[in-house]
Structure 1
Amino acid sequence: MASSENASDHYRLPTEVRPRHYDLTIRTDLEKEKFTGFVKIDLEIVKATKIVTFNAATELSLGPATLVLASSGTHLTPAETKFDASTERASLTFAEELPAGTKATLRLGFESQLTDSMTGYYKSTWDKGIYALTQFEPTDARRALPCWDEPLLKATFSVTLVSRKGTVSLSNMPALSDAPVSDVHTEALFEGVSDGSWNATRFETTPPMSTYLLALANGEFVHLESSYKSPLSGKVRPLRIYATPDVIGQAQYALDIKEKALPLYEQAFDIEYPLPKLDTLVANDFDAGAMENWGLITGRTTAYLVDPENADIAAKKRIAGTQSHEVAHMWFGNITTMKWWDNLYLNEGFATLACSMGEKIILDKIHPEWKVDADFINNHLTAALRLDAKLSSHPIEVAVPDAGQIGQIFDSLSYSKAASVLRMLSKYVGEEKFLKGVSLYLKKHLYSNTVSRNLWEGIGEATGLDVPRIMDNWVSKMGFPVLTVTETPSGIKVRQDRFLEGGPAKPEDNETIWLVPLLSTIDPLAIMELEAPGQALVNNDALLETREGEFALDTSKPFKVNADTNGVYRVLYTPTRLAAIASEAAKSDSIFSLSDRIGLVHDSFALGKAGYLQLSAALNLVHELRAEKEFLVWDSIDANLAGIIYTWWEREQVQEQLKVFRRALCSPLVETLGIEYSKDDSADTTQLRTLAVAGAAAAGDPATIRVLLDRFTRYIAGDTSAIPADLLNVTFSTAVKHNGAPAYDAVLKLFENSKTPSIKVAAIRGLTGSIDPALQTRTFDMILSSVRNQDLIYFFRGFCTNTEALYALREFFEANYSSVINKRLETTFSMKYIVQSVYSGFGKEEDRVKAEAFFKDKDTRKYNQALAQALDGISAKAAFIERSTSDIVTWLEKWGKAPRSSL
């Protein structure tokens, strides 16, 4: 694995010069949609050199540069200035060599337009005009100022923002004053300040930090305010959330989560939040979900806004998870930062884990009713294993010497698989020792940069274990194992092989031997057997270190490998044993936990899809669990069943039979739970009702559809209470699908006029759910003409779930790829997700061939991994359909003839 020290010199800045401090002044002119700036960068000459090289993007117009030597005050002008557009680097060559140990200040002016690129320093629109904000991760600070734009090159920042009167300027630190700083080189930036036309706001100096965490914003913002008291020092810090006046009323919940999360993180890591304040800014136009800028978190409206009078649980979960995730970054990423992007998971994996795992971490303390540790399996572990089951996967720790490739690794592997592997380690060593090790790691590397071994050293110190030996292959190798369990006279034999979605791995793809923790001395990781009725006994010594291992176990009693689904692997049993486990799991007093049952469902379907067992075995498991009460188990069941229906979308008879089965599962739940929501309902009841209604409607249940259409009619007539927030998505999509143009027009108005993110997203779901080609064309035309760049991904994802639109979606994408879509999104994260959305639904080899032909002459460097994963998915789906169609049909026919109480 290439580390930061060994990455390609072609893409990395030379190491002869390091920045130590930036004094940055930027004047933002929202009326002219441009910004002008001047920066003074204090430098240390580490090695003698004549050349000073830094990052600057092509759209940043640079003025003349001057280098001022600290020792003499001599002003040096470069003899030559070069710019390399491919690496976004500028090089200043001086006539005299700069000796090692020299201190100097680079002084440089610059300017650029505020565009709608959602990268660098850019503009966002709202009802009364525009405002400006930054998105610098991973390599876009260079679009806003000349800088050393690599995470290792930390420096302090003093920021002054000049802006028109009546606007608010924000940055990482609190404001010091509203007066200009005297400097002959920046006088022009302060023109008009003295007569009151402009404001100049200077901010406190930041701690040492990477450029991607620098944040700037200017606009007509208003805010809500709170505070928290540090449990470690007793200090009280202000907390604010900023937005435009039209939506600030929906921001209170996000502020409340931040207030609750900060002291919990301080206690968990035993390190006080180091900045004087923590703000959040809500943006109308934002590419990523949210961004952890130190002291000024930013994010899109769906990440932070919810209607306080009609809030759905899904939106609250999304907001709480996002806010907790970004707050975790104040420690993981901001205080301690990876040396290079190959260790991105040290930031993102920990932030994902920290707000999701166990009883020791944050969201479980704020919302215990959400059962976040079990929910982690549905939201993160499953997503990680789905992607990592492809040959086109990549290791968690992945070489990315080319900065242009960095955006591709912001995926389920760097986030969800990394979090899952760390969760497995936490369960294996014990959460308290794990957190102690994390605290040691953070304290040892405050304000510095790290690699994997630094983390393993901290956890090893806390546990006394050889953590690198345990973890190396989990982070340095792609893939994960499937554990095949066979029974012996004395117990079980377990064999590990790499799991692939297309079936058993070939020898050349099956070389990795993982050190697989099968259990934990603190929380059970794997082998669980029955000690007495209703009691589970955990074997605390099982660890699979070789290809195969044998373990003593009384197989006459119920047992299960990977208890609580804490391991990052699939488990394959014989059909007989799986049936026995399913029977035990279905009992109301089963020894198998909520997390056990979720894991059983996901494993069975994944193994069925890949051909390790017949898919009918997974359907049998679902049939056994039909009396299940827990929402999260039903969530796993319905998601997998919907995926199977989606796979067979071009086999109408099979799809209809599967829908009958889905109706038989969901419709009784609707009858039992009803469609009326109450504030007295538990979180489980509310979410299960929503899932049941959506599943029944998607499966064509007439009674459910009638109720939803009636509610839609009343809602459009003005009775907004007719549709609870939790049913907006399914109601809008059902209405457009069944009532055509009149419903489409009504939903379009909601999309255009609503200020509530949940309504806008539900409206997109409705617009993209139409089965009418003419209405699909209207939506495609709207995408080209009036949809915000940040919302394109919602439209493409909506269409990709509509099997009646998949061919039209592909045709639309390919026809407009070069002229519109790629141009609008070429600098963003979104392009890779759109490529996956367009092609992931297909399941014939001819579809793969067509996709390969389309992209043959395209520059796919920024999304080639996503494209390869989508193409692999097509092949796997084609093999799945060929392999399992007969098995599914046979099982469904047998199920259809059998009494509903048996099979």
Structure 2
Amino acid sequence: MAKGYYISKNMATAAMVLGAIALLTIIALSIVYNREKSKNAAKLMNVTTSMLAPTPTSNELWDKYRLPDTLAPQHYNVTLWPHLVMDANGMYVFTGNSSVMFTCLKKTDLILIHSNKLNLTLFNGRHAKLMGLDGVTAPAIKTTWFQTETHYLVIKLNGNLKPGKSYWLYTEFRGELADDLEGFYRSEYMEDGRKKIIAITQMQATYARKAFPCFDEPAMKAVFHITLIHDPETIALSNGQEIKKENLNIDGITVTRTTFEPTKKMSTYLVAFVVSDFTYINTKDKKGVLVRIWARKKAIEEGQGNYALSITQPILEFFEKYYNTSYPLSKSDQIALPDFKSGAMENWGLVTYRETALLYDAHMSANGNKQRIVTVVSHELAHMWFGNLVTLKWWNDLWLNEGFASYVEYLGADHAEPTWNIVRFKDQIILYDLQRAFAVDSLTTSHPLSRKEEEVNTPSEISEMFNTISYSKGAAVLRMLSEFLTEHVFAKGLSNYLKHFAFGSSVYSDLWDHLQKAADQTSGVKLPRTVHDIMNRWILQMGLPVVTIDTRNGNVSQKHFLLDSQAVVERKSEFKSNILYASQAIHEPMKVSKGEWVLANLHASGYFRVNYDLENWERLLSQLESNHQIIPVVNRAQLLDDAFNVARASIINITLALRTTKYLLHEREYIPWQAALRNLNYFFQLFDRSEVYGAMQAYVKKQVKPLFKHFGTLTSNWTMVPSGHTDQFTQIIALSLACGTGVEGCRDLTKSWFRRWMQNPHTNTIHPNLRSTVYCIAIAEGGAEEWDFGWKMLQNATVAAEAVKLRSALACTQVPWLLNRYLEYTLYPEKIRKQDATSTIGYIASNVIGQPLAWDFVRANWDYIFKLKRFQKDNAETGFGSGTQALQQAIEKTTAKIKWLAENKEPVLRWFISESS
């Protein structure tokens, strides 16, 4: 699954508690939608109270969330018919049947199979039929019921199943084709004035059970035979190739039945099917694998799928070579969906995406949209081997799947876009993964990459694993591992690992074994300790170290880095000796002569922060101001981010950190500017209601003015964009920061562009790269006329990337009643799609005017939210899924900010005043 779906956005402001609440608004709305999405469930289920078991109170197997090790599925035959018109009860439903062949591993008189939100047909008072294979007589079914808490259909037998023997279990069922973005669900969209309905799936992590009864655990792999019944005007897709298509009449209705080739042996969470009226473009790779891009007809006609098609084949070929393993399927379908919960999902052979993650319009999409597409496609295709071919045994090791894909996505993208300057593009991992992970891992509410199995049981606990630590810290530590093993050894070990566990499952230590063997077999690679010893320290304990280097005497020390050094840590983390052999970036001796400086963690390959003695900091600052290019680009970003965060932890003075930004007058590279902007935004949000804000704005204005002038000259007064890939991103920073701080001419320029568009709505001459910034500034500077124009353009947008820009910009208005109206729109899916509601509230809450309005909105809609810590307590048993830790982290960050602000506001104010002239 693509990263980016978890809730982790910083919204801190001087109104500290409101800042945390703004974040919780997103969580709260998600909770309510989860509660409301099944409002028709009672009508659908139509079951009696006696069929539903009470809340678990026993130690019976059906009261445990993990399946027993008594049965192993081998094959499923699944037939589904999504009805894309309302039934007599005003509901959309799907009907179907499923039979699963399983082998008995241990004698048992009990069958537990996952089934949730399904109404199963009764056969002689039972919910299933059971038969033996190869002459085996199956015991009669004694009784069946649903265990709602653990999502089981429980089948008690009159006798025992025999070890080594196989059986078929047959069920018929009916389910709601809800718009809840989970399991088998429906999506609605408008095209050519008509409402279109499609049926699609999202099975990860525990939603396959909502589509058909199944053994819904990742290690329970099986072969799936899928058949879909659908309207003849639609097409059906699944994991395998279509092998048969026939028209028939069922109960007087003409339908098409599409049968697909059997899948490879795989996990339930990777099963996928789609019924739609979409169309496609296609090609074949050198080995004959069919590659297709599917989307709405208009999107395909407009060429929005062309870019994805052009990069899919080279990325697949790259990973085949990288893994030294052939792509195991006959086709690779990728489909862009109007409503989708995640950024994308790596279903084997049928990868599903949000439209913004797959569709690119050369006239409407920005360079950043293109980068997102190539990295997301690369991420999902990396999973075709790592995650799909070889799968984690349980969700406690999710980090290995997602962290690995988050690392190698940069490698695949580099191969697909070689002109983007391979080194600098790959270096962006420090912005989007390394520093992102640091921000969370420096909290006491972080967690180890790998948890114990018993800590991850419930669907909520599983959902909680899809977070920044799993994705971004996972990517960062695997990058570090690759660096000290060398990429060649790393890839060799991966190849052997994939071949050994193909079509099976594994745990993280299995990968360590194969990497160790690869290192042992490669001359010139000598590790100071085993891969197990080195890496287990990084994945079995939470947090990161800060390494302090004293260049006066050469001493190097380290300790657990926490933003709040006084915080109580429940999970103690020790980093003794870890850095010195886990990274090749630190070398002895560290003692230097007068005038020399030490820079540790070269290329930021190690997962740690670095602090120095004051004299070395001074020498580094002097080097930055005299000739910053002596220090590598990545390390300039590292110095900025380390300094600010070490200062936030009160290890060094905040004014020392602020001084790292003085050299930005001369900086033209994207990565250091983005690292600086991220930290400066923290200050903008922190002080936007205090007297510090004006002085800070004046200082930043002075620092960004040369960058703004640089791009004005480079682009012939903003009439073009730079040719360099990352230069285009730096240009956006220059425009955004210059307009935000009042650099002369900037706002007039952007407002004139927007006004020109308002005068001629059919011709938008604003470059796609700059639209997000221009739209936001113009709407913030304007009133109802500008806002209403933006809303109209959003309603008419046919390119998803353009819609995102407009939806974000509408939250920039400074007019309270417009923000309140926008908040209300999030409650109506016909105005703001459900998948976009939470991010829209986040945009509004990050606006200083919108923040208290967002809190009022929460209170008006959910009166049980009245105090931050009480909110957490009241909902502890309900569970927030991936939002649980976001809630805890919001509280911890807020507490730390209040304390830090009290100690540092005055010196920060004095420094900005002194440096802004």
TM-score range, shorter chain: 0.7 to 0.9
* 2:832 alignment partner in structure 1: 787
d(CA) in 2 for partners of 1:751, 1:275: 39
**517, 529, 545: which is aligned to 1:481?**
545
TM-aligned CA deviation for residue 801 of structure 1: 1.9
Conservation of the 8 A alpha-carbon contact between 2:558 and 2:575: yes
* 2:818 alignment partner in structure 1: 775
TM-aligned CA deviation for residue 126 of structure 1: 1.6
* 1:471 alignment partner in structure 2: 535
Summarize the Cα distance change of 1:596–1:62 in structure 2 as closer, same or farther, 3 Å threshold. Answer: farther
d(CA) in 1 for partners of 2:419, 2:322: 14
TM-score, normalised to structure 1's length?
A: 0.87
- The answer to whether 1:430 aligns with 2:486 is yes
**562, 565, 568: which is aligned to 1:503?**
565
* 1:577 alignment partner in structure 2: 616
Q: What is the aligned-residue RMSD (CA, Å)?
A: 2.4
- The answer to whether 1:604 aligns with 2:643 is yes
Within 5 Å, which residues of 2 pair with 1:635-650? 635-650=674-689
* 2:81 alignment partner in structure 1: 27
TM-score, normalised to structure 2's length?
A: 0.86
Summarize the Cα distance change of 1:602–1:354 in structure 2 as closer, same or farther, 3 Å threshold. Answer: same
**154, 157, 160: which is aligned to 1:91?**
154
Conservation of the 8 A alpha-carbon contact between 1:321 and 1:363: no
* 2:699 alignment partner in structure 1: 661
**108, 118, 121: which is aligned to 2:181?**
118
Within 5 Å, which residues of 2 pair with 1:862-873? 862=881, 863-873=883-893
**747, 750, 758: which is aligned to 1:716?**
758
Summarize the Cα distance change of 1:733–1:162 in structure 2 as closer, same or farther, 3 Å threshold. Answer: same
Conservation of the 8 A alpha-carbon contact between 2:543 and 2:573: no
TM-aligned CA deviation for residue 77 of structure 1: 4.8
**206, 211, 236: which is aligned to 1:144?**
211
* 2:732 alignment partner in structure 1: 690
d(CA) in 2 for partners of 1:86, 1:444: 37
TM-aligned CA deviation for residue 196 of structure 1: 8.8
Conservation of the 8 A alpha-carbon contact between 2:363 and 2:768: no
Query: Residues 433-474 of structure 1, C-alpha deviation per residue, up to 9 Å, x if partnerless?
Result: 111111111111111111111010111111134100001120
* 2:222 alignment partner in structure 1: 155
- The gaps in structure 2 that reach 5 residues or longer are 1-60, 87-91, 521-526
Secondary structure of the residue aligned to 1:353 is helix
- In the alignment, residue 849 of structure 2 is paired with which amino acid? E
Q: 429-438 vs 76-85, which deviates more?
A: 76-85
TM-aligned CA deviation for residue 422 of structure 1: 0.6
Q: 31-40 vs 329-338, which deviates more?
A: 31-40
- The answer to whether 1:615 aligns with 2:650 is no
Summarize the Cα distance change of 1:525–1:376 in structure 2 as closer, same or farther, 3 Å threshold. Answer: farther
TM-aligned CA deviation for residue 551 of structure 1: 5.2
Summarize the Cα distance change of 1:860–1:94 in structure 2 as closer, same or farther, 3 Å threshold. Answer: closer
* 2:278 alignment partner in structure 1: 221
- In the alignment, residue 120 of structure 1 is paired with which amino acid? G
* 2:868 alignment partner in structure 1: 851
d(CA) in 1 for partners of 2:809, 2:104: 59
- The answer to whether 1:292 aligns with 2:346 is yes
Secondary structure of the residue aligned to 1:178 is strand
* 1:822 alignment partner in structure 2: none
d(CA) in 2 for partners of 1:796, 1:685: 31
Summarize the Cα distance change of 1:141–1:384 in structure 2 as closer, same or farther, 3 Å threshold. Answer: same
* 1:830 alignment partner in structure 2: none
- The answer to whether 1:171 aligns with 2:238 is yes
Q: 464-473 vs 361-370, which deviates more?
A: 361-370
Summarize the Cα distance change of 1:362–1:471 in structure 2 as closer, same or farther, 3 Å threshold. Answer: farther
Query: Residues 665-705 of structure 1, C-alpha deviation per residue, up to 9 Å, x if partnerless?
Result: 22322222125253662223322111110111222335211
d(CA) in 1 for partners of 2:226, 2:863: 39
- In the alignment, residue 82 of structure 1 is paired with which amino acid? W
TM-aligned CA deviation for residue 860 of structure 1: 3.3
d(CA) in 1 for partners of 2:368, 2:423: 11
- In the alignment, residue 100 of structure 2 is paired with which amino acid? I
Secondary structure of the residue aligned to 1:560 is coil
TM-aligned CA deviation for residue 240 of structure 1: 0.5
Summarize the Cα distance change of 1:59–1:736 in structure 2 as closer, same or farther, 3 Å threshold. Answer: farther
Query: Residues 611-655 of structure 1, C-alpha deviation per residue, up to 9 Å, x if partnerless?
Result: 11122112211102320121221111122112211111231x101
Query: Residues 495-519 of structure 1, C-alpha deviation per residue, up to 9 Å, x if partnerless?
Result: 1111111236668765412553458
* 2:790 alignment partner in structure 1: 747
- The answer to whether 1:389 aligns with 2:427 is no
d(CA) in 2 for partners of 1:370, 1:192: 59
TM-aligned CA deviation for residue 413 of structure 1: 0.3
* 1:461 alignment partner in structure 2: 517
d(CA) in 2 for partners of 1:161, 1:367: 42
Query: Residues 521-546 of structure 1, C-alpha deviation per residue, up to 9 Å, x if partnerless?
Result: xxx8423xxxxxxxxxxx4xx6xxxx
Conservation of the 8 A alpha-carbon contact between 2:826 and 2:841: no
Summarize the Cα distance change of 1:613–1:750 in structure 2 as closer, same or farther, 3 Å threshold. Answer: same
Secondary structure of the residue aligned to 1:371 is helix
* 1:212 alignment partner in structure 2: 269
Conservation of the 8 A alpha-carbon contact between 2:204 and 2:269: yes
d(CA) in 2 for partners of 1:47, 1:388: 43
d(CA) in 2 for partners of 1:507, 1:639: 27
* 1:200 alignment partner in structure 2: 257
* 1:57 alignment partner in structure 2: 116
TM-aligned CA deviation for residue 301 of structure 1: 1.1
d(CA) in 2 for partners of 1:424, 1:600: 18
d(CA) in 2 for partners of 1:366, 1:812: 47
TM-aligned CA deviation for residue 197 of structure 1: 2.2
Q: 409-418 vs 301-310, which deviates more?
A: 301-310
d(CA) in 2 for partners of 1:697, 1:299: 34
* 1:241 alignment partner in structure 2: 293
- In the alignment, residue 86 of structure 1 is paired with which amino acid? E
* 1:413 alignment partner in structure 2: 469
Conservation of the 8 A alpha-carbon contact between 2:647 and 2:654: yes
d(CA) in 1 for partners of 2:446, 2:594: 36
Conservation of the 8 A alpha-carbon contact between 1:370 and 1:683: no
Conservation of the 8 A alpha-carbon contact between 1:66 and 1:77: no
Within 5 Å, which residues of 2 pair with 1:541-552? none
* 2:58 alignment partner in structure 1: none
d(CA) in 1 for partners of 2:164, 2:581: 54
TM-aligned CA deviation for residue 58 of structure 1: 2.7
- In the alignment, residue 209 of structure 1 is paired with which amino acid? M
d(CA) in 2 for partners of 1:286, 1:434: 34
**26, 40, 44: which is aligned to 2:99?**
40
Summarize the Cα distance change of 1:47–1:509 in structure 2 as closer, same or farther, 3 Å threshold. Answer: closer
Query: Residues 206-240 of structure 1, C-alpha deviation per residue, up to 9 Å, x if partnerless?
Result: 111000000010010101112222xxxxx221111
* 1:876 alignment partner in structure 2: 896
TM-aligned CA deviation for residue 854 of structure 1: 3.1
d(CA) in 1 for partners of 2:844, 2:642: 28
d(CA) in 2 for partners of 1:783, 1:877: 30
* 2:879 alignment partner in structure 1: 860
Query: Residues 282-333 of structure 1, C-alpha deviation per residue, up to 9 Å, x if partnerless?
Result: 1101111100000000011111122122431111111111110000000111
Secondary structure of the residue aligned to 1:355 is helix
Conservation of the 8 A alpha-carbon contact between 2:590 and 2:598: no
Conservation of the 8 A alpha-carbon contact between 2:375 and 2:413: no
d(CA) in 1 for partners of 2:465, 2:113: 24
* 1:802 alignment partner in structure 2: 847
Structure 1 vs Structure 2: percent identity of aligned residues? 29
TM-aligned CA deviation for residue 850 of structure 1: 2.8
d(CA) in 2 for partners of 1:783, 1:655: 31
Question: Aligned pair count?
Answer: 821
TM-aligned CA deviation for residue 793 of structure 1: 2.5
d(CA) in 1 for partners of 2:673, 2:404: 28
TM-aligned CA deviation for residue 586 of structure 1: 4.3
Query: Residues 58-86 of structure 1, C-alpha deviation per residue, up to 9 Å, x if partnerless?
Result: 34445431111003375655210021111
- In the alignment, residue 448 of structure 2 is paired with which amino acid? P
**807, 811, 819: which is aligned to 2:856?**
811
Using CA pairs under 8 Å that are at least 6 residues apart, name the structure with larger relative contact order, 1 or 2. 2
d(CA) in 2 for partners of 1:217, 1:291: 13
TM-aligned CA deviation for residue 599 of structure 1: 0.8
